Amino acid sequence: MTTSLSERFPIGSLEYRLSRFNAKERFALIQRVLGVTFVPHADFMAEVLAKCNITTRPENVFCAMDFHLDWLYAALMNENLVEGEPMPLAAGESDYFPVTGKQQDADFVMCFTDKACNGAPPVTHLLLIEAKGVGSWDTQQISSKFNQYRAMRPAFARNPNVTPRLILMSQKDPEQNRTRQNSEFLGELQGFRDFGMPVWVHLPMEKTLSVVRCNDDGTPNGKTPTHWKLESR
């Protein structure tokens, strides 16, 4: 039987606060079916720590997938998790609100506290992962997320011990594989430095097939198809 996230972290820590919002069925389903507790793989964690220049290996890491940015903002702003207390909904840059009411999320979140700081206050690392397995990065989607992160600046300012970092995971490093198709995405990436320089980590993917609706001659037709076919992604 797995241990609940809220039982693994000190009450009041950001890890604990984040765990109180983690309502994704997929997360609970995987833990229940596989009988596991989500923990980062040692090799993956070592690579991430090295690329983020984090020297201390964490003992306990909060992990969550598809974590709503509204939840993240609430965990940062409401330290005591007081229920029922109305809080001001102030607009951020470009009239963008930190609480959108939409299911905009980070693909994967990792959070852990570095207690070995030579007498300095502990630092809590918040790693926000965006993943793209196949196809190209969605510029509009990433731009919307960046706007929400910008609107959340007061929440991060309220938690000076929290160090956020953006991590991109894909088969190819978009910075090293510039194309006409990803130029707009890279422009958005260059314009967002709230969390420092983004880090890229390789995401291995098996070759997969897609189902395409088409005409009888194989021409793709998504509106009035008469046939379907398989294609390599």
pLDDT for the residue numbered 93:
61
User: Do 215 and 137 lie in a common domain?
Assistant: no
User: Do 157 and 213 lie in a common domain?
Assistant: no
pLDDT for the residue numbered 173:
92
Cα–Cα distance for residue pair 12/61, rounded to 1 Å: 15
Give, to the nearest 10 degrees, the angle between helix 139-151 and helix 183-190. Answer: 10
User: Do 135 and 220 lie in a common domain?
Assistant: no
pLDDT in tens, 10-31: 899 999 999 999 999 998 898 8
User: Do 194 and 210 lie in a common domain?
Assistant: no
User: Do 121 and 161 lie in a common domain?
Assistant: yes
User: Do 197 and 87 lie in a common domain?
Assistant: yes
User: Do 124 and 220 lie in a common domain?
Assistant: no
- Of all residues in the chain, what percent are helix, strand and coil, respectively (each to 5)? 30, 25, 50
User: Do 20 and 79 lie in a common domain?
Assistant: yes
pLDDT-wise least confident of 11-25, 53-67, 81-95: 81-95
Across the chain, the runs of DSSP E, i.e. the strands, are 62-68, 105-114, 123-132, 162-170, 199-202, 209-214, 227-232
Q: Average pLDDT in the 187-211 region? A: 93
Q: Tell me: pLDDT of 2 over 60.
A: no
User: Do 227 and 185 lie in a common domain?
Assistant: no
Q: Tell me: pLDDT of 1 over 70.
A: no
Q: How many domains does the chain have?
A: 2
Q: Nearest CA to 37 among 11, 10, 5?
A: 5
Cα–Cα distance for residue pair 72/151, rounded to 1 Å: 12
User: Do 225 and 194 lie in a common domain?
Assistant: no
Q: Tell me: pLDDT of 89 over 70.
A: yes
User: Do 92 and 153 lie in a common domain?
Assistant: yes
User: Do 79 and 172 lie in a common domain?
Assistant: yes
pLDDT in tens, 131-154: 998 888 999 999 999 999 999 999
Range of the domain at 213: 206-233
Cα–Cα distance for residue pair 39/58, rounded to 1 Å: 11
From edge to edge, which strands make up the β-sheet containing 162-170?
62-68, 105-114, 123-132, 162-170, 199-202
Question: Which of the pair, 204 or 38, is modelled with greater confidence?
Answer: 204
Contacts for 217 with CB less than 8 Å, ≥ 6 apart: none
pLDDT for the residue numbered 180:
77
Q: Nearest CA to 129 among 47, 207, 209, 191?
A: 47
Q: Tell me: pLDDT of 39 over 60.
A: yes
Q: Average pLDDT in the 50-75 region? A: 93
Question: Of 25-39, 84-98, 147-161, which has the strongest mean pLDDT?
Answer: 147-161
Cα–Cα distance for residue pair 146/140, rounded to 1 Å: 10
Q: What type of residue sits at position 222?
A: G
pLDDT for the residue numbered 88:
86
pLDDT for the residue numbered 131:
96
pLDDT for the residue numbered 5:
61
**Residue 46 structure tokens:** 């070592």
Q: Tell me: pLDDT of 112 over 90.
A: yes
pLDDT grade for 181, boundaries at 50, 70 and 90: confident
